[in-house]
Amino acid sequence: MKKIIVFLMIILLTSGCGKEKNIQSYIGRDKEFVSINYPVTNINILDDAISSYVNNVYYQFKNIDYDGIPELNISYTYKEVNEDIVNVSLQTEIVTDKTINKIKTFTYNKANDRFLTMEDLVQDLNTLDYEIKKELLEKYQDADMDYLSNVSYDYFTVDDENLTIYFNPAEIKSKHDELIYLDIPLDSLKLLIDIDKTKGNDVYLSIKKKNVDIDDKVVALTFDDGPSKYTAKILDVLKKYGASATFFLVGNKVDFYGDILRRMLNEGSEIGNHSYDHKRLTRLSKEDFQIEINKTQEAIKKLTGFTPTLFRPTYGGYTKTLKSYTDLKFVLWDVDSRDWQVKSTDKILKNILPNVKSGSIILMHDNHEYALKALDKIIVNLKNQGYKFVTVSELLELKKLRESE
């Protein structure tokens, strides 16, 4: 166990080495369900604080005494408030025999190299104090009065419309498991900072169709858990051989990779939905499951204009009931690279090549470099066997045509 923890900590603490902003991602499937995603901003002090927090949460999670399979989800929001101020929130969910939710936020001013407090943002917080406490009591009648008398505003985020103040359930001593928060319209505040309210241009893209004959040998490469800093290089390899793939994306990561998503579609690949936070879906309510789906759909459409029609359930787990909650088509696989586990090009090739047949769907992951290192050899080998690389939608369409003959 110690080796696993140290290994992950090395990954997290060295994640700020790249020149561009990106998302650090870790998906664990062995004796635990773990999904950790957080931004690497290349602001050293901020990145150190974020990775330190994530490492601490993961260390505590690994030491939980629980007979079942525990689950940890860390997701984020990222906002460039203006050209100097960056706001990051990390939301943690730990699931054992109970569910624990908590949040940590960081607001950092690059101009003076320091973290900001609420007093740095709002001109007169005292005038709001009474109204905030009053609304908290109205919203959560079981809140602890002693706590409310000394309430602090340590956790907050800012977007174009609201200042959102968060309170961890354990701190406010409410019976609620979910995070407690209040949205305060910016128009009602006297702010000490400027908020950039930029609107992006609408983009409308679709998948480029390929010419495929009904008798062609076809195979669909699929990549889960991205996008990531490796996705662009995967696209480079696909382009080199005129191949395409289907990328099942985690919704909370896509904002950092808008250009990559648009490139996927422009070069003939397809985008699918892989939930928003990579939670274990079989334990979610209908409402929570649909939130995971819809937030991802909206994030992808906002960046590309493209609306996915395919969904891959996290960890491959689903039920008939879950399928009834969405119109998206569930897509699994018949060839598993096990790239996340074997971490070797030769072993990945052995897991894939002997098992491929026409119509196969191959599972790989683009949130680490193992799949990238093997991809060139996979494509060359299968092309030499006469395979064409199509998207999952194209493969399914071809299967229907064959069945109708």
Question: Residues 394-405: what's their mean pLDDT?
Answer: 85
Beta pairing, strands 155-158 & 162-167: antiparallel
Q: Which long-range contacts (CB under 8 A, 24 or more apart) does 284-289 make?
A: 286/325, 289/322, 289/325, 289/326
Please state, in angstroms and rounded to a whole number, the distance separating the CA atoms of residues 92 and 75.
7
Residue 2 has pLDDT above 60, yes or no: no
- Which run of H or E residues covers position 79? strand 71-80
Pick the residue with more confidence: 117 or 169?
117
Neighbour tally for 180: CB within 10 Å: 19
Quick one: tokens of 163? Answer: 């200042």
Residue 373 has pLDDT above 80, yes or no: yes
pLDDT for 8: 45
Residue labelled with tokens 């090395």: 10
Would you list the domain boundaries of the chain? Answer: 1-79+88-101, 117-197, 217-404
One of 3.30.565, 3.40.50, 3.30.70, 1.10.3470 is the CATH number of 1-79+88-101, namely: 3.30.565
**Would you call the peptide bond into 227 cis, given omega within 30 degrees of 0 as the criterion?**
yes
The yes-or-no answer to whether 1-79+88-101 and 217-404 have a common fold is no
Beta pairing, strands 85-95 & 71-80: antiparallel
For the segment 32-91, what is each residue's pLDDT rounded down to a tens digit?
899 999 999 999 999 999 999 999 999 999 999 998 999 999 999 999 999 999 999 999
Counting every residue, how long is the chain?
405
Catalytic residue among 224, 277, 339, 366: 224
For the segment 114-138, what is each residue's pLDDT rounded down to a tens digit?
999 999 998 887 777 777 777 777 7
- 79 closest CA partner among 2, 180, 171, 157: 157
- Which run of H or E residues covers position 40? strand 33-40
Residue 1 has pLDDT above 90, yes or no: no
Catalytic residue among 274, 278, 365, 368: 365
- 159 closest CA partner among 204, 127, 199: 199
Residue 7 has pLDDT above 70, yes or no: no
Neighbour tally for 402: CB within 10 Å: 12
Contact between residue 181 and residue 165 where contact means Cβ atoms under 8 Å apart: yes
| DSSP structure class, residue 122 | B
| CATH 3.20.20.370, applies to 217-404 | yes
Quick one: tokens of 330? Answer: 């569930």
Residue 201 has pLDDT above 60, yes or no: no
Is 225 marked active-site? no
Quick one: tokens of 162? Answer: 């609201």
Is 224 marked active-site? yes
- Entry pTM: 0.86
Residue 9 has pLDDT above 60, yes or no: no
